[in-house]
Structure formats: C-alpha cells, structure tokens
Structure 1
Amino acid sequence: MVNQPVHVIGGGLAGTEAAWQIAQAGVDVVLHEMRPVQTSPAHHTEELAELVCSNSFGALASDRAAGLLHTELRHLGSIVIAKADAHAVPAGGALAVDRGVFSHDLTQTLANHPQITLQREEVQTLPHEAIAVLTTGPLTSPALTTDLQRFTGMDYLSFFDAASPIIVGDSINAEIAFRASRYDKGEAAYLNCPFTREQYLAFWEALRTAEQAPVKDFERETAKFFEGCLPIEEQAQRGEETMRYGPLKPVGLKDPRDPEGDRPYAVAQLRQEDKAGQLWNLVGFQTNLRWGEQKRVFRLIPGLENAEFVRMGVMHRNTFINSPQLLAPTLQFHQRETLLAAGQLVGTEGYTAAAAGGWLAGTNAARLVLGLRPIVPPKTTMLGALVDFITSASPKHFQPMPPNFGIIPPLEQKIRSKRDRYGVYRDRALADLKIWHSLSSSPPVAKG
C-alpha cells in the first residue's frame, strides 16, 4: 500500500492536520475539499481550515483544558497550532488568530507540500479500496451523509445537535442534591436537585425571560425539529406548569435522607455522563440560551449554585456519528480498519480538539500505509482523554464533548484547590505524553 496515496476527505482543521501529518511521514496524500465547487451554508471562502464561528482556540494557559491540548499539540508537531501561534492576535488569556491570514497560510503551505495533492471536488461516497480519513465536519454533504448512513447502518447521524449542559460532579452541592431513581426503580442512578415552590417560580421567571442565542439563517429551515427536543426555555414560555409535567416533574422522587418528608415541588435531574462519575448531564435541558445566561439561570437550580460547566447546552444543525459504537481508540472504524475519522464528525467540539483528532487519525493512517501498528495516546493526556471519551461513552446518550479536565482520570491524591489540581493534571499529562511520544516515534515494530 506504500505506493497508494491516503485520501483525506474534508479540508477543515481536522483534515488539514491529518493531511499534513500523513505527508510529513513521507506518504502521499490527496486532500479532498468540496469548496468552491460545492458551497457550504456556513463557510464564506474556499480556504482550508476556515474558522467559521470564532477566531479563538480557547484558553492559552496550560493549566486550562484547551491550553493543555495546545501544549500537547505543539509537542507533537501540529501544523494547525504552529500556524495559530504564528498568526496570533491579542486576546487576553486566549489563543486567537487573524483568521483570514491563518487560513490562507495553511492553504498555501499544504498546497505547496510535494506529497499533498489538493483536489477541489465533492466526494459523494466513501472510498472502498484506499486508506482514507473522513473529516467532513458538522455540515457533511447530503450525498456523503447518505453513504455514511448506509455504511454504518444507522439512521440517526443527528442532524440537529440538541445537547444539555454538562457539569463537573465535584461542583454539585451534595448537601442539597440526592441520589435516587424515580419510584426507586433500579439503582439510584440520578442526582436530583429539589425545588420548593418559591425556588421553582424564581427559576421559571428567570428562564422564560433569559436571552437566547441567534439562530443562523441556514438553520432556520430545520427549526421545526425543535419540537421533538424542545428547548427548556421554550417549555418555560408555554406556562408555569409545563416544566413540572416535563423534565422537572417530581413524581416518584423523594430524598432518601428524609423518607418522611414531603415530595419536592419540582426536581431537576442529572445523569452520569462518564464512567468515573466526574461529569453529569442536566437531563432535558437542551437549550438555545446564550452561554452566559445558561450559567446565570441554571445556577438558580438548588444544588447547582456553584456549578462548573464543562460544556454548555447547544441547539444547532450538526452531523456526528455514534463514535462509541463505531470507532476504536485509534480512530479506525471497527467495520473497516482502513477508514478513519476525526473532527466534529466524531463528536469532539472546538477548533483545537478537531486539530488533535486530525493529528491522531493522520498519524495512524500513515502508519497503516507503512505497515506499522496504529497508536493510542495515554488517557492521562487531554488528547488521550478526548479519544477515550468519544470511543467509550454510552452509545445511547452520546453527545459531542470539548476538552475539559472532567474527562481525565482522577488523581490519586485529593487536591481541593481547582487551580492546583489542574496544574497537577497538566504536569502528569505532559510527562506521560513525552514518554509515550518518544516510544511511539522511535523505530517502531512493523505489524506481523
């Protein structure tokens, strides 16, 4: 297979990074980008790695989740982060770029690489013979989406991303929230935040008057899908009692610490999001509120007054696969090991996470061509934790995830200070990454 080029489908951040890593490994690669032959409703140029929603890659400091991932990618030789550093603009504590110059530079750099062929065309079907990396992002074309559905056998690639906020478990007030399942059926799998009538009415009033995020023009046509997963603020608009007969219904829930007490007036439930129980999802709280409003209003929920959010609720058009069911930690499809995927399509959120997935998928695609074993990063790194989450989360409740410290394996020692704790996470991650990368970059053993 050494003489066959790898095909990377999609020229966003993940595809750009994947193509570069493949080429840097000495393997020919064809990078397919459908723009400008086929336009996208979210993009405005034909440049590779166009930044659509923002020019920020998130926090710069390495004791922040995004910043740690930046640092890891610098160590791994990421082209995306190298260009972001080269074209950074002042943004306080964030890594932000001059987006036009950034994308143009990446486009020229890849186009001039002797082992990269840039093809401007829409790929409508998955390659059957060649090794390929799928990085088509949240707006995968309808034709390729149809073929991907056929390949996976799944009808639900989730064309509307309706996700509730996710909260760090340690930030939930255990003196208020209690564990229980409705009518005590099964194990006590939910955390329950009980409202008095007064608390509920204050929450309802704040929710129904909170400011919503604008809906993009190309998403308005699919707004009818909202009825199946109605935003919590829309439920509040329908009347004072609507939420109490929906996601906040208190029926069958009593605090086991006070078995003789009255049933709560309303209850917000949180469902465990990860195996370690560090992340909790606000059940039924899909929302289109602005992020600042989400924090303000949802901290009115009893027990969440100091909630630390690792992902805010979102409602926007999106396409992502059920990665826990479909992908191995190497980002290879179980059904076809010569097909890999990365970026928002696999359920990672954010520019840096897209580049990180592209790095791993591209590196492993090149290793397959060279007859080498694919690699998996340590779970103690931010890159490894993200990959582990998207390939091992519950397939039934899988939703996209950004970089955050809640998905990294906990430390052996308890550190109360969040800043100190995150610093130890960082130090452990970078030490483990250095050892792992040194071993995986040394003359590797070919597959037997």
Structure 2
Amino acid sequence: MQPIHVIGGGLAGTEATWQIAQAGVPVILHEMRPERRSPAHHSEHLAELVCSNSFGAQSSDRASGLLHEELRRLGSVVIGKADEHQVPAGGALAVDRAIFSRDLTETLASHPLIELRRDEVHRIPDEGIAVLTTGPLTSNSLSEDLQRFTGRAYMSFFDAASPIVVGESINRDVAFMASRYDRGEAAYLNCPMNREQYLHFWQTLCAAEQAELKDFERETAKFFEACLPIEEMARRGEDTMRYGPLKPVGLFDARFGHFKDPQNKDKKPYAVVQLRQEDKQGNLWNMVGFQTNLRWGEQKRVFRLIPGLETAEFVRMGVMHRNTFINSPELLSAALQFHQRPTLLAAGQLVGTEGYTAATAGGWLAGTNAARIALGQDPVTLPVTTMMGALIDFISSAEPKHFQPMPPNFGILPSLPTKIRNKRERYGQYRDRALADLSTWSQHYGVRLHSKALEAVG
C-alpha cells in the first residue's frame, strides 16, 4: 500500500498522521523544521503551540470544551496528550507546552507506520493521497503552488476580519433590518447612533489599546492601507467613519417611517453600524467594516458602546494579521476533500478553522478520511449537531464572497427545538444533543468511541 503524505507537522498534521497510522495505513509526515524555520516557531517539535499554551475553556458546556470532549471520544492523540500534560489554568485546558510537543513528537516518531521526514515540500504531490496541514505561515513556494492549483483568487495571505456577534445577543428594540435605499430585501441589521453616542464612541475608539504586530507582520503592514483598521479610520478625523462604513444615508427604520417625513426628521441617525448575516441560519452577524487590530478585551469594551450591542456576545474577535488560508466554501467538501481532486485533503488554519482545538478536529477528520480512501471506504462527515460537524459544515458551505476563518462556537449549531433563555442551560442542551448524536453516528459508521472519555464524563 502506498503511503499517504501529510504536509505540515502542526496540530492538524500531527492528528491527521496519527489517525492514518491507527487505521493501519502507512504515512509520511513532512515537517520543514529544523531544516527551515518559520517566523513564529522556536523548536523542532511537532504540534508546537506558538501563541499560548491553552486549548480554551475546558467545561463541556462551552464551545471549545465540547469540541475537546468530542475529540476525546474519537481517540484524538492531541487532546489525549493535552489531558496528560495539563497544568492549572482556571477553567481552561492548558498544557506544559514543551513537554506536550516533545511527547507528541516521540509518540509519532516511534509508531511503526509513521515516517517523519524533516524536509520542505515545495509542491503539492502530483499523485496519491495527500493531506495539506501547513497552517497560517505556509512557505512561499508551497503557497505559490497552492495558488496554481486553486486559482489565485481563492487564496488569502492576510486575515483582515471583523468581529462576529451572536444574533440573539443583539438588542432588536434598537437595531433594525434594512438595506441601503431599500435595494432588495432587508438584509442588514442596523445599529443607529445619535450625535452624542457617536462622538463618545469615536473618542473611546481613538484611545483604545492596539495589539502589537509581530515582526514579520510589521514588514507587511502596508497591505492594510487598502483595508484600514476601524481605529485607524477613526484617528483620521471625527467624520471619517461617517463617510465610510458608518455612513447613515439611505437607511430607514420602518418603525418610524421615512426620514423625509417632517414628523420623523429628528429620527434620522447621525451614524449607523451595519451587521451582515454570516451563516445560513442567521445566528451569526458580522460587523461590516470593523476589521481591527485592537486587543480583544478592548474590542468588547469599545464595541459594546454601540447602541444595540450593549450585551453583544462575540464568537470571533476582529483581527488583522498574516494568515494563509483558502476559500474553503469554494474548494472543499464537508469531508475536507478538494472538489477538483478528492484524493487531496486539507485541514487546520489553512482551511479557515481558528484555534488549536479546531485545527486538531480538522486533522482528525482529514486523517480519518484519507485512511478510508486508501482502504477503499467512503469518506465520512460528522453530524452538524456536533461541534466538529458544525464547524466543518460552516467552512465548507459559508458564503464564499465574505468567507472568514471561524472558531468553534454555539452560534454555528442548528437551533434547539425549544428556545431556552438561560444560556448555561441552553449550552448544556447543545452538548447533550451533540454527544448523543455522535454516539449514534459512530455506531452507524463503525467508529469506535473511547470508553475512558465516556467514563470520565459519566
């Protein structure tokens, strides 16, 4: 049997490689370090954690915690080692990062079906089964080959993304649905500001603290001149935002009638923040034009000054950083196979999932399906009621025109049959449904769930 090639030894590549080998299929894992270093990595070990040592909230009634639990049950080597090397971090799953990465490297290197090659791959393999897991800092040569394979328009090298808000956390007594000049159906949620509210927001935004760019991002910061951070736009003048994404023209709140009516002229907003629907169900809303380099805590503090967003729940914060990712809704199936070549799969941040645990989840699915293809079996997809299934469904079916990377969050799950106002109880119901559906799914496809995880939860 020809070995499967996995390119990239981060979290997704490590998980994919392990799942392939555990299925009895030989696999070659290509990792360019230490032959060639990336700007963000410091060691030669696999699955190096570069931004923090935390996989996010640990409780299974939190989005990341539910994803942890699904992966535990599915036999994830990454989450298994994270549990083994856990360090105290409040409610988060954090690890001793040096021991964690070293152990994973030794575990994979000692597997009889895994060959670890320390080499840089410059081109996508022309034949056979391969999994791309090269992450947000994919090398220039492989990036160029990806552009050749996918088409230049389907590759992004910088992530200039606006915050995404849970729809039910937006105050609909303030925000109203409308499209500018009533063109087409009402498609945007609009948060109106009077002059006093706008000036307070503008002044606070100008003074807010920015995140520090990494050295390799400062060199390319000029890219963002064509896509200005909202705070930079604010600093260019009191009215700059009002002539840009916050322009108040052509937006009419049907609750007050038309602003040209003399009786309603005082209802015309001084500025308007628009939110665009991000998912098919309308659970998530994107703040239009609010790409930002503010620190995450500052984003929550400042953006909750916007009328209608006072209690907004953010599932993704705005970012502006170097990041290589493909337009997955155009290119990938929910099995993480490329439409134009089903024997080529991809996972991790390269496909637009965000965060350590999400990368691991994509690696599990891509590795599992690569092995199934090699064994002559049909690839699998996960139920959309699971966090894994919902995340992969989102990145493979979102609106391609506005596609942005997405972290695990409850907003991407299908709604519950009955509306539950208490957030903790609602999230608990999401968890119970997800784990029950995962069990049913595993029986149907003959995927063994690991009893140790089940006992721990029980």
Pairing of 1:61-72 with structure 2 (within 5 A): 61-72=59-70
- Going from structure 1 to structure 2, the CA distance change for 1:442 and 1:172 (only over 3 Å counts) comes to closer
**1:109 aligned to which of 85, 107, 110:** 107
One-letter code aligned to 2:395? I
CA deviations on 1:12-48 (whole Å, 9 max, x unpaired) are: 0000000000000000000000111111001011100
1:404, CA displacement in angstroms?
0.1
Q: Report the equivalent of 1:120.
A: 118
Name the structure 2 match of 1:347. Answer: 352
CA deviation vs aligned residue, 1:117-175 (integer Å, no higher than 9, x gap): 00011100001111000000000000000110000113352111000000000000000
Paired residue total: 441
Q: 1:257 aligns with which of 255, 258, 280?
A: 255
Identify if the C-alpha distance between structure 1 residues 374 and 169 changes in structure 2 by more than 3 Å, giving closer, same or farther: same
Give the Cα–Cα distance (whole angstroms) in 1 for the partners of residues 253 and 21 of structure 2. Answer: 59
Structure 2 length-normalised TM? 0.95
Tell me the secondary structure at the aligned position of residue 326 of structure 2.
Answer: coil
TM-score normalised by L of structure 1: 0.98
Q: Which runs of 4+ in 1 moved over 3 A?
A: none
How far apart, CA to CA, are the structure 2 residues paired with 1:331 and 1:155? 19
Map 1:191-210; keep pairs closer than 5 Å.
191-210=189-208
Q: Gaps spanning 5+ residues in structure 1: where?
A: 444-448
Equivalent residue, structure 1, for 2:21 = 23
Cα distance change on mapping 1:61 and 1:442 into 2, 3 Å: closer
Residue 337 of structure 2 corresponds to: 332
CA distance in 1, matches of 2:386, 2:447: 20
- C-alpha distance in 2 between matches for 1:95 and 1:315: 26
For the 8 Å contact 1:59–1:94, the answer to whether it is kept is yes
Name the counterpart of 2:287. Answer: 282
1:253-332 maps to which residues of 2 (within 5 A)? Answer: 253-259=251-257, 260=261, 261-262=264-265, 263-332=268-337
Aligned-partner Cα distance in 1 for 2:31–2:128: 17
CA distance in 1, matches of 2:254, 2:11: 49
Partner of 2:383: 378
The 2-side partners of 1:155 and 1:184 are apart by 31
Identity %: 76
- Structure 2 counterpart of 1:122, which letter? E
Give, in whole Å, the separation in 2 of the partners of 1:275 and 1:442: 29
- What is the distance in 1 between the residues matched to 2:116 and 2:416? 44
Equivalent residue for 2:451?
none
Equivalent-residue separation in structure 1 for 2:446 and 2:112 (angstroms): 23
Q: Which runs of 5+ in 2 are unaligned?
A: 449-458
- The equivalences for 1:177-196 within 5 A come to 177-196=175-194
Q: 1:439, CA displacement in angstroms?
A: 1.9
SS in 2 for 1:384: helix
1:148 maps to amino acid: L
Q: CA–CA distance in 1 between the matches of 2:126 and 2:442?
A: 31
More deviation, 301-310/254-263:
254-263
* 2:401 paired residue number: 396
Structure-2 separation of matches of 1:219 and 1:100: 25
The separation in 2 between residues aligned to 1:222 and 1:378, in whole angstroms, is: 40
Cα distance in structure 2, aligned partners of 1:132 and 1:268: 44
Q: Counterpart of 1:35 in structure 2: which amino acid?
A: R
In the other structure, the counterpart of 1:85 is: 83
Q: Does 1:145 align with 2:129?
A: no
Paired residue secondary structure (2:434): helix
Whole-angstrom CA distance in 2 between matches of 1:44 and 1:374: 36
Which position in structure 1 is the counterpart of 2:237? 239
| 3-state SS in 2 of match to 1:319 | strand
1:317 match: secondary structure:
strand
Report the Cα offset of residue 442 of structure 1: 5.7
Inter-partner Cα distance in structure 1 for 2:145 and 2:447:
38
SS at match of 2:152: coil
Separation in structure 1 between the aligned mates of residue 52 and residue 447 of structure 2, nearest angstrom: 38
Preserved CA contact (<8 Å) 1:254 1:264? no
Q: CA deviation at 1:438?
A: 2.2
Matches within 5 A, 1:417-436: 417-436=422-441
User: CA-to-partner distance for each residue in 1:335-389, whole Å, 9 max, x for gaps?
Assistant: 0000000000000000000000000000000000000000000000000000100
